[in-house]
């Protein structure tokens, strides 16, 4: 059985950075499932497609569209992500990746909203990464500015809260920690401290 690490949590909690570092450190493959929903949302908008059709027709090239990481990409993602048939369409690919990670990886790290609850309920390790709304909006605002995009903190905070609200209240695969997830609040942690804390949780669980 490959080691599967599920990392879930609200927007901009630092899941991606953490997941990438854990994957590199432990020789695991990494899948950013949010990027898939972003690609479906943007493809539907760009090509005027019905969202389920966009999910069915998704190509590797769509995952490289330049605007995926924008807040518009996040909003488009969370709209299509609330449609059960879109989620169903993307489920098999995510499960396959987790269960048969590309060689030479010895397992996989997936990050998203429903990895521990729906995609990989049998994952050996489940982390739920959170931080205060202000800390998360501050990090996303900084990230956008560093990428050379224009950003207004108050707007980032408002859009992030709207997206979290939609993700928490949808009928299918809502954003919620799995009952067996370890919750890690990173409000007061640097990225390095969050990484160290996650490694300790993983070590505790894998050696138990
Ligand atoms: O980077 P950030 O945390 O802001 O967002 P993301 O992980 O790229 O996810 C973008 C959106 O995709 C989320 O707001 C969710 O609506 C949706 N999503 C989901 O429903 N299920 C997942 N497993 C991953 C993302």
pLDDT in tens, 106-124: 999 999 999 999 999 999 9
Task: Specify if 59 maps to a domain.
Answer: yes
Task: Specify if 84 maps to a domain.
Answer: yes
The predicted model gives 27-42 an average pLDDT of 98
Task: Specify if 97 maps to a domain.
Answer: yes
| CB distance 153 to 40 below 8 Å | no
Does ligand 1 come within 6 angstroms of the Cβ of 164? Answer: no
> How wide is the angle at C-alpha 57 spanned by C-alphas 55 and 58, nearest 5°?
65
Pocket test for ligand 1, best of 81, 108, 159, 171 (most atoms within 8 A of CB): 81
The beta-strand segments (E) located in the chain are 3-8, 29-32, 107-112, 125-130, 182-185
| CB distance 4 to 121 below 8 Å | no
Task: Specify if 164 maps to a domain.
Answer: no
Structural domain of 33: 3-132+179-206
Task: Specify if 80 maps to a domain.
Answer: yes
In angstroms, the Cα distances linking 58 to 51, 132, 168, 177, 181 are: 10, 34, 25, 28, 31
The number of folded domains in the chain is 1
Domain at 78, CATH number? 3.40.50.300
Task: Specify if 163 maps to a domain.
Answer: no
Question: What is the residue with the minimal CA distance to atom 14 of ligand 1?
Answer: 78
The larger pLDDT score, comparing residue 197 to residue 69, is at 197
Does ligand 1 come within 6 angstroms of the Cβ of 189? Answer: no
- At 207, the pLDDT band (50, 70, 90 cuts) reads confident
Pairwise CA distance, residues 85 & 72, whole Å: 22
Task: Specify if 150 maps to a domain.
Answer: no
**For residue 206, what pLDDT is reported?**
86
Instruction: Give the residue carrying structure tokens 């993983």.
Output: 202
- Distance from residue 204's CA to the centre of ligand 1 (Å): 28
Sequence-separated (6 or more) residues with CB below 8 Å from residue 80 = 37, 40, 41, 44, 51, 54, 55, 86
Sequence-separated (6 or more) residues with CB below 8 Å from residue 192 = none
**For residue 208, what pLDDT is reported?**
59
Could you please report the per-residue DSSP string of 138-171? HHHHHHHHHTT----HHHHHHHHHHHHHHHHH-S
pLDDT in tens, 40-64: 999 999 999 999 999 999 999 999 9
Task: Specify if 128 maps to a domain.
Answer: yes
């Amino acid at each position: 059985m490959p080691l599967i690490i599920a990392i879930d949590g609200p927007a901009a909690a630092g899941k991606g950075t953490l997941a990438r570092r854990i994957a590199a450190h432990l020789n695991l493959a990494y899948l950013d499932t949010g990027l898939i929903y972003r690609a479906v949302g943007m493809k539907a908008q760009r090509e005027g497609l019905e969202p389920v059709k966009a999910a069915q027709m998704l190509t590797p090239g769509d995952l490289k569209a330049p605007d995926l990481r924008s807040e518009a990409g996040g909003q488009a993602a969370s709209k299509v992500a609330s449609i059960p048939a879109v989620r169903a369409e993307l489920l098999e690919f995510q499960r396959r990746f987790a269960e048969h990670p590309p060689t030479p990886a010895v397992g996989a790290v997936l990050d998203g909203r429903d990895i521990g609850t729906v995609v990989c309920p049998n994952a050996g390790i489940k982390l739920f990464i959170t931080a205060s709304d202000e800390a998360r909006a501050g990090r996303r605002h900084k990230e956008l500015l560093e990428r050379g995009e224009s950003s207004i903190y108050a707007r980032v905070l408002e859009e992030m809260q709207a997206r979290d609200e939609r993700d928490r209240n949808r009928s299918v695969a809502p954003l919620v920690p799995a009952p067996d997830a370890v919750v890690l609040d990173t409000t007061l942690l640097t990225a390095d401290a969050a990484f160290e804390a996650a490694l300790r949780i993983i070590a505790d669980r894998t050696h138990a």
